[in-house]
Structure 1
Amino acid sequence: MYFLLKSAVSGLVIGTITVVAKISPKFGGIIAALPLISLLSLIWLYVQGGKTAELSEFLFGVLYGLPSTIGLIAIVAFALKYSMPLFLSIGLGILGWGLLLFVQKLLLPN
């Protein structure tokens, strides 16, 4: 039951952002940049009995992944700005994300 509820709510959020982005790409992007997925995940973890320490560790994981995610978004945005095809842009973004995460892991060992 939780899976269906989580899927429905998450799908509704993504669907709403897509509709807003069709009307106003900039505003849709601003809404998409909100930490909605992180907060929804946090709520689902809590509802399913997650302890405070686990919730905190999850959020620190989100923070750890944030710099490489920003890099991915920047790479995709610039690739699209320079007329690269969407899937090539996404592929470059994913490669950049992985490289940035690797470098970050070297610089900030756990």
Structure 2
Amino acid sequence: MDYSYLALKFLIGGGVIVGVTFLAEQVDPKYGGILAAAPITTTLAFLFTYSDAGQAITRQLVMGSFWFAIPTLLFLLTLYLLMSRYSLIPSFGGAYGVWFAAVLVMNRLLTGI
């Protein structure tokens, strides 16, 4: 295993998180949201997967990412709605609960396809 390559992956991924946080705090939360929602992380995952495992696995990853984006959208909507009524931690708990249930439903639907 190439540990320097693994470290590079962590640095790039962490850089995206730092960029989102910086934009949200110092510039405008809207721009942080644009970066957070941009397909930067998925593109990096696709590039690294393609480099490590080839096109067939990357294509499967792309389709999995497509279908499991739906639970992520439900997570974001739930978090937004819950944060208007509850503090951050309970809101995250509820949003992750909805996300997990949606992942189970989506997985069940996909195994039937």
Same fold (TM over 0.5): yes
Q: Which runs of 5+ in 1 are unaligned?
A: none
CA, structure 1 residues 103+47, in 2 after alignment: closer, same or farther (shift >3 Å)? closer
Q: Which runs of 5+ in 2 are unaligned?
A: none
Q: Pick from 90, 98, 101: which aligns with 1:99?
A: 101
Q: CA RMSD in A?
A: 1.4
- The one-letter amino acid paired with 2:48 is W
> Could you tell me which residue of structure 2 aligns to residue 3 of structure 1?
6
TM-score, normalised via structure 1 length: 0.89
CA, structure 1 residues 107+4, in 2 after alignment: closer, same or farther (shift >3 Å)? closer
Return the alpha-carbon distance in structure 1 between the equivalents of residues 13 and 108 of structure 2: 34
> Could you tell me which residue of structure 2 aligns to residue 86 of structure 1?
88
TM-score, normalised via structure 2 length: 0.87
Return the alpha-carbon distance in structure 1 between the equivalents of residues 49 and 103 of structure 2: 25
Which stretches of structure 1, 4 residues or more, deviate above 3 A after TM superposition? 105-108
Equivalent pairs counted in the alignment come to: 108
Identity of aligned residues (%): 26
> Could you tell me which residue of structure 1 aligns to residue 33 of structure 2?
29
> Could you tell me which residue of structure 2 aligns to residue 71 of structure 1?
74
Return the alpha-carbon distance in structure 2 between the equivalents of residues 43 and 94 of structure 1: 27
**Structure 2 residue 23 is matched with structure 1 residue 15:** no
CA deviation profile, 1:7-47 (whole Å, cap 9, x unmatched): 11111111011100112011111111011111111111122
